[in-house]
Amino acid sequence: MKLDLSGRTALVTGSTQGIGLAIAAGLARAGARVAINGRTADRVEAAIDRVREEVPGADATAAPGDVTDEAGADQLVRELPEVDVLVNNLGIFGPQPAMEITDADWRRYFEVNVLSAVRLTRAYLPGMISRGWGRVQYIASDSAVVIPAEMIHYGMSKTALLAVSRGFAKEAAGTGVTVNSVIAGPTHTGGVEQFVTEMVGEELPWDEAQREFMREHRPQSLLQRLIEPEEIANMVVYLASPLASATTGAAARVDGGYVDSILP
């Protein structure tokens, strides 16, 4: 399959590290002009350098800004008024006992993980519809379906993204624009390494800590290892491509078989 995104502009939120950075590199490899987003210009420029190192000749541009508030999102949209591919990747997570999650915590997770994506979808979807082509994606999580006891506020936010994705897919029905979510399983990123360490302790070497984490806290994984960010990116790039023109309103799983279901 040839995943050709030449001539398309893609915006990936929260793309200075981890899954977002891998997605940006993957889209650049497919020929897209990729806008790298992060809160600070320095981190964005560093991420652009990494994408260009990984993908020689990559067309990567800076799109700094805090999209978790209206002012930051408005500024980004003014500087990048049109995109063909929007990947809502930005998100936060962290363990917290259920009874200690405050009202402020609930609001923060909803604002960052859900409303930032809704805000950018409102900004960019009309243009995609008027041009008759576009791709909107939301990076969800297995936690959307299998709510983790140690961070139910995070699970709630990812469940909401599945609903948001399906709803906007209906808004774009029949227009040539597809809207999908990607259910990512436990993925090997810097943040997850820290999370794994918090869950199983600092004394174990990483390989052993990873296996212990999967065995004790994610035993339903059929992969029995953490997923690499590039494996998530592969699905995102496919869904962004013309080859995925008949896939919309879907929740595509890259979860290593974590969700115990025979349906996508």
In a shared domain, residues 63 and 111: yes
User: What would the pLDDT profile of 125-181 be if each residue is shown by its tens digit?
Assistant: 999 999 999 999 999 999 999 999 999 999 999 999 999 999 999 999 999 999 999
Task: Please tell me the number of Cα atoms within 13 Å of 203 on its side-chain side.
Answer: 0
pLDDT at 264 over 80: no
Cα(261)–Cα(219) distance, integer angstroms? 15
Please state the domain count of the chain.
Answer: 2
Catalytic residue among 109, 124, 138, 154: 154
From residue 105, give the alpha-carbon distance in Å to each of 68, 108, 111, 156, 196.
Answer: 14, 5, 10, 12, 21
Q: Rounded to an integer, what distance in angstroms lies between the CA atom of residue 49 and that of residue 45?
A: 6
Q: At what angle do helices 41-54 and 18-29 cross, to 10 degrees?
A: 50
The reply to whether 216 and 234 lie within a common domain is no
- The residue range of the domain holding 112 is 9-187+228-254
**pLDDT at position 54:** 97
Question: What is the average pLDDT across 51-67?
Answer: 97
pTM: 0.95
Annotated active-site residue 124? The verdict is no
- Coil, helix or strand at residue 116: helix
Per-residue pLDDT, averaged over 84-101, amounts to 97
φ/ψ bin of 174: left (φ > 0), alpha (ψ from -120 to 50), beta (otherwise): left
User: Does 62 share its domain with 102?
Assistant: yes
Whether residues 150 and 52 share a domain: the answer is yes
Q: What is the pLDDT of residues 212-263, one digit of tens each?
A: 999 998 899 999 889 999 999 999 999 999 999 999 999 999 999 999 998 8
When the pLDDT of each residue in the chain is averaged and rounded to a whole number, the result is: 96
How confident is the model over 64-79, as a mean pLDDT? 96
Same domain, 68 and 171: yes
Instruction: Note whether 82 and 199 are same-domain residues.
Output: no
Looking at the fold, whether 153 and 197 belong to one and the same domain comes out as: no
> What pLDDT, on a 0 to 100 scale, did the predictor assign at position 49?
98
**Statement to judge: residues 221 and 238 lie in one domain:** no
**What pLDDT does 29 receive?**
98
Q: Kindly indicate the confidence band of residue 190, based on its pLDDT and cuts at 50, 70 and 90.
A: confident
For residue 21, CA distances in Å to 55, 126, 199, 225, 260 come to 12, 26, 25, 21, 29
Q: What is the pLDDT of residue 239?
A: 98
Give percent of the chain above pLDDT 70.
Answer: 100
